[in-house]
Amino acid sequence: MSQSKIFTTPWKDYELIDAGGGKKLERWGDIITIRPELQAYFHSGLPFSEWKKMAHWEFVEKRANKGTWRPLKKNALSTWNIKYGRLTFKLELTNNKHIGLFPEQKINWEYLESNLSSEDKFLNLFAYTGASSCVARHMGADTYHLDSVKPIISWAKQNMELSRLMNIRWVHEGALKFVNREQKRGNKYKAIQMDPPAWGLGAKGEKWKLEDKVDELLAATASILNEDGFLILNTYSPTVDQETLKELMTIYFPQRAASADGLHMKTTSGKHLYFGELVRVGKTI
């Protein structure tokens, strides 16, 4: 069965230069990085020797998603800022290959910019360093930012301050626990965004896997979404495929417009890189 696709795009301060051979070459402002990428199972557009001439840093994986950054240029910055419109985001090299931003999410930022206003209430679950929270707050929405990792919330606060925003509401809690409490309180939201990892730890260190929780997550969020509201879900788990997501949409959002598409980005070199599945649920039909 053919899988539907949707494409996200780069912007002035981010470029997916090339991908292939299990890696990707990216430009973040003036800094260029090489990182592992499981979905880059094809041949790269440029030889790796060219990549290393261009890049400032390369992540060397020691074990699953853990490793160190190897400098490829002298005095390369390990912490720096980039812009998205009038917003500013802090980037930093970490020991898990991530640097503080998921650039494929630009497609979600654009959707929020087109569909949120100062009258709306926005809930960002698994909110990471808060790019979507900053976008929503910039649009004037009453913004709730939830993550189970305290240092990540601190990073998100820095992004809010760098972007000259105020009054994002910070929640350090597990997503399901918070949503279930909101349901009991009768609280509802115009927009909900979820970007859960394939597996992770809750606020109290409890382990969980997305395939075990996606049903419960969708059921819970459906109960706190306004009839005229929308939901955005990104998934990166190979065990939660597009057809499964479409089936779940018909179960938990039967009266709403919904779509599930494979999210891709084109590299400057002409390759297509897959970034998981993107689900959108719209208002009640």
What does the alpha-carbon distance between residue 176 and residue 116 come to, in Å, rounded to a whole number?
Answer: 24
Sign of CA dihedral 167, 168, 173, 177: positive
Q: How far is CA 36 from CA 80, 98, 122, 125, in A?
A: 21, 10, 33, 26
How many Å apart are CA 239 and CA 100, to the nearest integer? 25
Check: CB of residue 119 under 8 Å from CB of residue 196: no
Closest by Cα among 267, 251, 260 to 281 = 260
d(CA 88, CA 29): 11
Return the closest-CA partner of residue 235 out of 52, 102, 61: 102
Q: Is 211 helix (H, G, I), strand (E, B) or coil?
A: helix
Predicted TM-score (pTM) of this structure: 0.93
CA 45 to chain centroid: 26
Record the tokens describing residue 144, joined without a space.
């709730």
Ramachandran category for residue 118: left, alpha or beta (phi over 0 → left; psi -120 to 50 → alpha): alpha
**Mean of the per-residue pLDDT values for the chain?**
93
Confidence band of 1 (pLDDT split at 50, 70, 90): very low
Q: CA–CA separation, 229 vs 255, rounded Å?
A: 12
Q: 139 by DSSP, 3-state: which?
A: coil
pLDDT of residue 151: 95
Looking at residue 198, what is its pLDDT?
64
SS (H, E, C) 60-93: EEEECCEEEEEECCCCCCCEEEEEECCEEEEEEC
197-224 residue pLDDT tens: 765 655 566 565 666 778 889 999 999 9
Q: What percent of the chain has pLDDT above 90?
A: 84
Domains annotated on the chain, with CATH: 9-82 (2.60.40.1180), 98-284 (3.40.50.150)
pLDDT digit string (tens) for 104-155?
999 999 999 999 999 999 999 999 999 999 999 999 999 999 999 999 999 9
Per the structure block, which two tokens stand in for 172?
A: 């350090």
Angle at 173 between CA 170 and CA 174, to 5 degrees: 135
Nearest residue to 175 via CA among 131, 117, 214 = 214
273 contacts 24 by C-beta, under 8 angstroms: yes
CA distance 131 to 108: 10
Give percent above pLDDT 70 in the chain. 94
